[in-house]
Structure 1
Amino acid sequence: MPKPTSEQTILVTGAAGFVAAHVMNSFLEKGYKIRGTVRTEKSADSVRKSHSKYADRLSFVFVQDIAASGAFDEAVKGVDGVIHTASPFILNVEDSERDLLIPAIKGTTGVLEALAKNNPDATRVVITSSFASIIDMSQGYRPGYTYSEADWNPATYDEAKADNGGFAYCASKCFAERAAFDYVEKNKPTFSVATICPPMTYGPIAHTVASMDKLNTSSADIWRFMNGTTEEVPLTDFCGFVDVRDLADAHLRAFETPEAANQRFLVTGGNYSYQKVCDVLNALPGLGEGKVPVGKPGTTPEGEVYKYDTSRAKEVLGMRFRGLEECVMDTAESLLGLEKAMAMA
């Protein structure tokens, strides 16, 4: 018989991050204990602050460099499972191999190697991958095509190594995810792996934020429309979104569902565009006249774009996804509340 959740400890890597904060909430609400990896005591304090309700079920271990040999050896000892959210999310780098590819790949395989070496009792590792590991960027908006878990980003290592932007980041997610499944196939560990592949991830903020100019990437993506710094509605690079609360729930379900073993899951609330985001924001009171760009309400400048098949997540994990309006409204409310709290501090 499996241990009750109150007796299980889950290791969450990158615990101070936007997604990790919601992942921890999902597990903590179910009664699990959390051991989070952070780089500094300051980061640990920030997680204690944002998750003070669960302080008695939180502990931390320091991992300075996720790509370092043996980085997770101590962290994995005694845990019942691992949620690996830590991976570099940088869209402009000087050296893609050093700053993106190696940390993403070695950070992922390092967790698996550490678990195999130090903890034979752990049951599952859930890895935060990305729609970036699925999409073929060379195909653009690809009207009429439906992406699913059967698709893999076809970028080569040499192509990614030569790029210093979004292409290299997308490739890094693919290489890391492939490396995880290759490790399982080759080494047949006692634990299983599941990967979660979200597109752009929006939603309320649950982690500690130092200032409004230090928001996580996706929150800043919404905030720029709300604070007046983006005056025109831009084209949308990636045309899918997921609410971070649904993404967190997917991690929990992938950990708890036996049938999720060694599978990948595409999770998304569907298509969106920046025009649709601005339409929602402009319908909300309290944002200030003229701050949010208007664009051409009700239109989609990109025209027809690819679709998504999320049937596996729905059938195996029982997922249901929030719509764009709820997601954007809750994100906006969270950001306005954060700005107000900071002004009063």
Structure 2
Amino acid sequence: MEARRGRLAADQKAGVVHVVRGGRRLANTRHHLDEAGLNGEQWRTRWDAARMFLSAGGEGGKRYGNETIRVSPHGQVSIKLPAPLGHLANDRHGRYTLAGSVVFAHRGQAWAQQIDANQAVAYTIRHDPARDRWYLTASWQPAAVTQIGLDAALAAGVIGVDTNDEHYAAWQLDTHGNPVGAPRRFDYAMSGTAEHRDAQIRHATTRLLRWAKTCGVDAIAIENLDFGDSKTREQHGRRKRFRRLISRFPTARLRSRLASMAAEAGITIVAVDPAYTSRWGAEHWARPTSTPTRKTTRHEAASLVIGRRAQGNPARRRTPPPARHQSDGARHRSVQARQDGPAREESRPPRTGTRTRSVHPPET
């Protein structure tokens, strides 16, 4: 705080003016009113509305979770006025009650539970000059997420999700690692403003979680992606198109959105190793799951490998029956290890007993 105060004092002494709340874009619009289709009065209304807001932090234990801006369960809003404005109060105890009421269309039930328990709820009142409406925003700290065991989360199966540049590729698996039904695709656009991209991700994530609820699955398996060290030119050379694709891939946003929204929906997120998921999916699952009318994509096959890896199953399918002949026309058999066999990362058990060629001859 002292360092920030020192910088602001130096800027004030030098005559440097910074654009404050309202945004640089709105300030530049003042110089291009004809292009924006506004006049001076309309621009001043938007400029004042960007700075005119009322916010109050929540207080746990107080009535309805906020003493300054109080919202009743029926949507009645009252504001605690300061002492100099006490003569403007129209209610008891120096409060001003608004004539209109508010309704929370999104997560209204969660808000009602919060205020019924007198838990802290923060409110912000702002004005939208374009629509000439007043809005009240409520926010609160979510409850701690209950951690459950992996076996309990996977008891009803899992949905494997392959995160891609502009869509989720998802497939439901049963408890034995077999695909159930047809795969699903949930698209989101990565063009436009940051708010538009974030809204697209939230919309696709909401549809994914609703489908998981419909399937009766309590767990979603995703890749634990991290491209922090893979965006440099030293890593991928002159592959500019690939580096640009990695740079625009919303890894952190997808992870944070999916984790937070899944916690609210009561669904567990299982992060798995992303190594060779697309390659093994295309090798072992793309052709067997394809039909004459529909071909399984590489991303859909990768979602099966991700789901099986979350369950502890190998990527390969079960061993098919042997061929009728041993000629070169028969395909190779895809061998799969047993469930009680050691994993790839585990050490092999030592050999027991003596070897045949190491037995010493009897002394006689």
TM-score, structure 2 normalization: 0.28
Computing the radius of gyration from Cα coordinates, the structure with the larger value is 2
Flag the structure with more relative contact order, 1 or 2, with Cα contacts below 8 A and sequence separation at least 6.
Answer: 1
Q: Higher helix fraction: Structure 1 or Structure 2? A: 1
